[in-house]
């Protein structure tokens, strides 16, 4: 497993600009106030760290906290995990209290016991993950321990946002 304590990697950050924007921020050093982090196992092109200071807009216009805007917020977390998966990464959700809290869940390819809650500050390997779901905290929709990928994504869309990772 790559070392999630090594600060080199990609961070999920928030800025109030453009009615609320989530960014990916590639950095050699820890980004204070980040919402999440992933430590890539694949080689990261050098330009990711240099271009625009390592920052790239992920999703914008998500402030307001209701309807489509809050779904955009949830989608940003799911997109971040999807990017992490593409780098065969270990992801860490950080504890935060400034923005609405979310529950992030992962579905793996295992036949049983394949639904996991991403616990803040606990590294999670994404190698076997096939889907990610993001819902408002607290939400019991992913309390079952076993779901098919299709059902997991369906439940995620009903309660928040979910994406297939494969």
Encode pLDDT of 141-154 as tens digits: 999 999 999 999 99
CA distance 157 to 126: 21
Weakly modelled stretches of the chain, pLDDT under 50: 1
Residue 44 Ramachandran class (φ > 0 left, ψ -120 to 50 alpha, else beta): beta
29 CB burial (10 A radius; 0-12, 13-18, 19+): exposed
Which pLDDT does position 98 carry in this prediction?
A: 78
- Does the global pTM surpass 0.75? yes
The pLDDT of residue 1: 46
């Amino acid at each position: 497993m790559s070392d999630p304590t090594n600060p080199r990697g990609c961070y999920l950050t928030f800025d109030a600009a453009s009615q609320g924007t989530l960014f990916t921020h590639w950095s050699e050093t820890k980004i204070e106030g980040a919402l999440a982090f992933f430590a890539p196992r694949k080689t990261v092109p050098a330009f990711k760290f240099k271009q625009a200071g390592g920052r790239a807009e992920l999703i914008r216009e998500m402030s307001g906290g209701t309807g489509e805007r809050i779904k955009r917020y949830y989608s940003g977390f799911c997109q971040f995990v999807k990017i992490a998966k593409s780098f065969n990464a270990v992801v860490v959700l950080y504890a935060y209290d400034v923005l609405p809290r979310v529950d992030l869940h992962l579905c793996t390819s295992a036949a049983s016991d394949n639904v996991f809650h991403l616990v803040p500050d606990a590294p999670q390997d994404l190698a076997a993950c096939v889907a990610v779901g993001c819902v408002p905290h607290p939400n019991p929709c992913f309390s079952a321990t076993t779901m098919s990928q299709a059902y997991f994504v369906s439940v995620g869309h009903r309660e928040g946002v979910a994406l297939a990772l494969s």
